[in-house]
């Protein structure tokens, strides 16, 4: 378990602070993550990677020459926010455009996509690529739904090496696509991981059993089998991967492959070597030529006891890129000429960071009526933060049934930050709309992950609807909630029945609209809608997830409500209390 920490909510930030202090030769800190401490040639494509904390050496440990130009680092098991990614990419950009790379998880897809839009608005040519190598998370016919695990490394490496060669952005992206299409991973676990501050692991494996098809966020495996010997584990990993070859590889015999045997956190190196000796023999028997194998901890999951095997099927070009030298805190290969720090870019980075936040906390002008409504908004956000804090552990337990167990942590960070930002804006005389939009940005930034992006969208939609000019009436609030519902569905792609927060948000919005159409006062209309939300959240226990990290573990979640749906229902009821108090 994770034993050494201070405030669990500060763990990711403090870990990043310590990492940068220990590795100043390679990296320097910027808002949201790290970038190279050494000079990048002008015009070179910047490869910016990222994801949640808890996976070291991914992602910050892979920043350096020959690999990433920067890494955006999110909270524990949660994607970095769009603001963090934008900040890191801006600092890493050397004039040749930016390729954003990440594992294929909903939160990462949302936040990296939003960051790409912001970079494009800044005039920075940007592309994105999601690694999807885990064959256990979806079948070949749905390979785009697969999650990214240890296959991140060879795909990141290929793209970064291409960028080092001076290739333009579109060609670097094509290299990433080629490497991604030829990379497959599969893993097993013997115990789950324990998040900082938790007193139990996210999942357990029965004695003398193993979980098959693990993720890297503490998700349980797809199935269970008897605990194998080292040789039996090697055979399972190799045979599973050899059953699914890239489309242009008909037979493994005569093929070359980059091979990674990855430890998830608690399996010792000696154990990995025992397994790898058999992996190498089995691949040799199949006629596969192994190229520069890696055995060690490369993409971890805190203290999870597990291993994964990754094969990247190489052609001449991919082999050249895989063999290319790299020098990062956690991954080194070959030899590179010495490179000094880049004081010019360091100064430019500092200036860019300074402009990321307004020098003075000004707010738009607002009417007295809107500032009065902001009192109620602030009270509602305080109620939200309090109810989330009270139920954070419960939300984590629900989320851990088939997911990664971080929902309570993320919601606590997001709601607390939103209330703080709203209070700051309120003190400055902001109207209801601005209070909500400031809260939206803070929630998305501090929470990260899918829930951070979606709650930022909800609050921003409400803020836009309420505005700063008038005291909002019940109909305007209902319109804002309806727009929030539509925006969440557009952004996340989920619909009613997918076992997500949408299963609560849509009926809540519909019930609120119907109640306000009857001219009910806002508090009464909200009460009715909150009752609908509570029933809808309970109903998600009977659904099978069709989206998100719980999707591969659909059967495990049956009988348990969706964590996002449950937290939304709790929030709607807490807000009703605030509306009554400020009626």
Query: Is 70 exceeded by the pLDDT of residue 59?
Result: yes
Name the residue with tokens 């199935």.
223
d(CA 186, CA 325): 26
d(CA 542, CA 535): 12
Burial of 207 (0-12, 13-18, 19+ CB in 10 A): exposed
Contacts of 437 (CB under 8 A, 6+ apart): 459, 460, 463, 464
Burial of 357 (0-12, 13-18, 19+ CB in 10 A): exposed
Nearest to 266 by CA among 224, 312, 235, 297: 297
Res 553: pLDDT:
52
pLDDT tens, residue by residue, 470-510: 989 999 999 999 999 999 999 888 999 999 999 999 999 99
d(CA 308, CA 515): 53
Look at 549 and 28; give whichever has higher pLDDT: 28
Looking at the DSSP bridge assignments, the partners of residue 258 are: 291, 312
Query: Is 90 exceeded by the pLDDT of residue 439?
Result: yes
Average pLDDT over the chain, rounded to whole? 92
DSSP H or E run through 469 = none
343 pLDDT band, cuts 50/70/90, is: low
351 pLDDT band, cuts 50/70/90, is: very low
Query: Is 90 exceeded by the pLDDT of residue 112?
Result: yes
399 pLDDT band, cuts 50/70/90, is: confident
- Residue 549: strand, helix, or coil: coil
Question: Which of the following is catalytic: 217, 426, 553, 566?
Answer: 217
Query: Is 50 exceeded by the pLDDT of residue 321?
Result: yes
Res 548: pLDDT:
57
Length of the chain: 583
448 pLDDT band, cuts 50/70/90, is: confident
Distances (CA, A) of 281 to 85, 177, 272, 397: 42, 30, 14, 42
Mean pLDDT within 21-46: 97
Distances (CA, A) of 380 to 146, 512, 514, 565: 38, 17, 22, 19
pLDDT tens, residue by residue, 532-578: 999 999 999 999 887 655 555 556 678 899 999 999 999 999 999 99
**Segment among 242-246, 400-404, 497-501, 540-544 with least mean pLDDT:** 400-404
φ/ψ of residue 39, rounded to 5 = -70, 140
Distance of alpha carbon 71 from its chain centroid, rounded? 13
Instruction: Tell me whether the omega of the peptide bond preceding residue 413 falls within 30 degrees of 0, making it cis.
Output: no
d(CA 551, CA 368): 48
**Segment among 329-333, 364-368, 579-583 with least mean pLDDT:** 579-583
d(CA 462, CA 460): 5
**Segment among 94-103, 113-122, 144-153, 207-216 with least mean pLDDT:** 207-216
d(CA 350, CA 341): 14
Res 359: pLDDT:
45
Query: Is 70 exceeded by the pLDDT of residue 348?
Result: no
Structure tokens, 345: 């870019």
Query: Is 60 exceeded by the pLDDT of residue 356?
Result: no
Question: What is the percent of the chain with per-residue pLDDT over 70, rounded to a whole number?
Answer: 93
Structure tokens, 517: 């159409």
Q: Could you tell me whether strands 46-53 and 70-76 are parallel, antiparallel, or unpaired per DSSP bridges? A: parallel
Active site annotation includes 391: no
Nearest to 52 by CA among 266, 203, 195: 195
367 pLDDT band, cuts 50/70/90, is: very high
Contact status, residue 339 vs residue 65, Cβ threshold 8 Å:
yes
C-beta neighbour count of 4 within 10 angstroms: 6
The structure's pTM equals 0.87
Look at 549 and 444; give whichever has higher pLDDT: 444
Res 396: pLDDT:
87
355 pLDDT band, cuts 50/70/90, is: very low
CA 530-531-532 angle, to 5 degrees, is: 90
Distances (CA, A) of 303 to 189, 206, 433: 11, 17, 44
Mean pLDDT within 391-420: 88
**Segment among 34-48, 89-103, 340-354, 480-494 with least mean pLDDT:** 340-354
Query: Long-range contacts made by residues 473-478, C-beta under 8 angstroms, separation at least 24?
Result: 473/522, 474/516, 474/520, 474/521, 474/522, 474/525, 475/516, 475/517, 477/512, 477/516, 477/522, 478/509, 478/512, 478/513, 478/515, 478/516, 478/525
Instruction: Tell me whether the omega of the peptide bond preceding residue 57 falls within 30 degrees of 0, making it cis.
Output: yes
Res 361: pLDDT:
67
pLDDT tens, residue by residue, 163-220: 999 999 999 999 999 999 999 999 999 988 888 888 888 778 888 889 898 788 767 7
**Segment among 96-100, 294-298, 468-472 with least mean pLDDT:** 468-472
Q: What is the dihedral of CA 114, 119, 122, 127, to 10 degrees?
A: -120
Res 202: pLDDT:
77
């Amino acid at each position: 378990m994770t034993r050494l920490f201070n405030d669990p909510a500060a763990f990711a930030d403090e870990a990043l602070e310590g990492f940068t202090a220990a590795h100043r030769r390679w990296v320097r800190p910027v808002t949201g993550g790290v970038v190279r401490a050494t000079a990048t040639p002008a015009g070179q494509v910047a490869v910016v990677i990222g994801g949640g904390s808890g996976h070291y050496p991914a992602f910050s440990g892979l920043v350096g020459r020959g690999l990433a130009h920067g890494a955006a680092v999110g909270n524990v098991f949660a994607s970095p926010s769009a603001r963090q990614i934008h900040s890191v990419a801006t600092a890493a950009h050397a004039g040749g455009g930016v390729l954003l790379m990440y594992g294929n998880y909903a939160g990462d897809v949302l936040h990296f996509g939003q960051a790409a839009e912001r970079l494009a608005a800044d005039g920075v040519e940007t592309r994105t690529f999601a690694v999807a190598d885990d064959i256990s998370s979806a079948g070949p016919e749905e390979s785009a739904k697969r999650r990214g695990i240890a296959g991140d490394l060879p795909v990141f490496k290929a793209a970064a090496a291409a960028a080092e060669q001076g290739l333009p952005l579109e060609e670097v992206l094509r290299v990433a696509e080629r490497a991604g299409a030829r990379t497959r991973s599969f893993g097993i676990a013997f115990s789950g991981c324990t998040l900082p501050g938790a007193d139990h692991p996210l999942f357990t494996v029965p004695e003398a059993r193993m979980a098959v098809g693990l993720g890297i966020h503490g998700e349980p495996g797809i199935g269970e089998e008897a605990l194998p010997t080292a040789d039996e584990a090697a055979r399972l990993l190799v045979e599973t991967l050899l059953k699914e070859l890239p489309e242009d590889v008909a037979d493994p015999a005569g093929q070359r492959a980059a091979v990674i045997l990855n430890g998830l956190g608690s399996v010792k190196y000696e154990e990995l070597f025992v397994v790898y000796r058999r992996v190498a023999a089995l691949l040799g028997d199949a006629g596969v030529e192994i190229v520069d194998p890696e055995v060690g901890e490369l993409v971890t999951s805190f203290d999870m006891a597990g291993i994964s095997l990754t094969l990247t099927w190489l052609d001449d070009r991919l082999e050249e890129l895989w063999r290319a030298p790299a020098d990062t805190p956690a991954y080194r290969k070959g030899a590179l000429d010495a490179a000094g720090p880049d004081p010019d870019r360091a100064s430019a980075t500092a200036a860019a960071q300074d402009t990321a936040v307004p020098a003075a906390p000004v707010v738009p002008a607002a009417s007295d009526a809107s500032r009065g409504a902001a009192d109620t908004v602030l009270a509602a956000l305080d109620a939200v933060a309090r109810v989330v804090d009270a139920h954070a552990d419960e939300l984590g337990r629900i989320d851990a049934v088939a997911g990664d167990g971080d929902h309570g942590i993320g919601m606590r960070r997001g709601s607390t930050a939103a209330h703080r930002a709203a209070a700051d804006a309120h003190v400055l005389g902001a109207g209801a709309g601005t209070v909500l939009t400031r809260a939206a940005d803070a929630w998305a930034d501090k929470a990260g992950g899918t829930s951070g992006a979606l709650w930022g969208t909800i609050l921003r939609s409400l803020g836009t609807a309420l505005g700063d000019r008038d005291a909002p009436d019940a109909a305007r609030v209902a319109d804002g909630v309806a727009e929030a519902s539509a925006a969440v569905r557009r952004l996340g792609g989920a619909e009613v029945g997918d076992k997500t927060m949408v299963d609560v948000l849509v009926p809540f919005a519909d019930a609120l609209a119907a109640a306000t159409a009857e001219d009910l006062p806002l508090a009464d209309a909200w009460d009715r809608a909150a009752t609908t939300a509570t029933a809808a959240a309970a109903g998600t226990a009977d659904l099978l997830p069709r989206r998100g990290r719980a999707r591969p573990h659909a059967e495990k979640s049956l009988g348990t409500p969706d964590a996002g749906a449950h937290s939304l229902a709790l929030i709607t009821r807490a807000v009703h209390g605030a509306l009554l108090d400020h009626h």
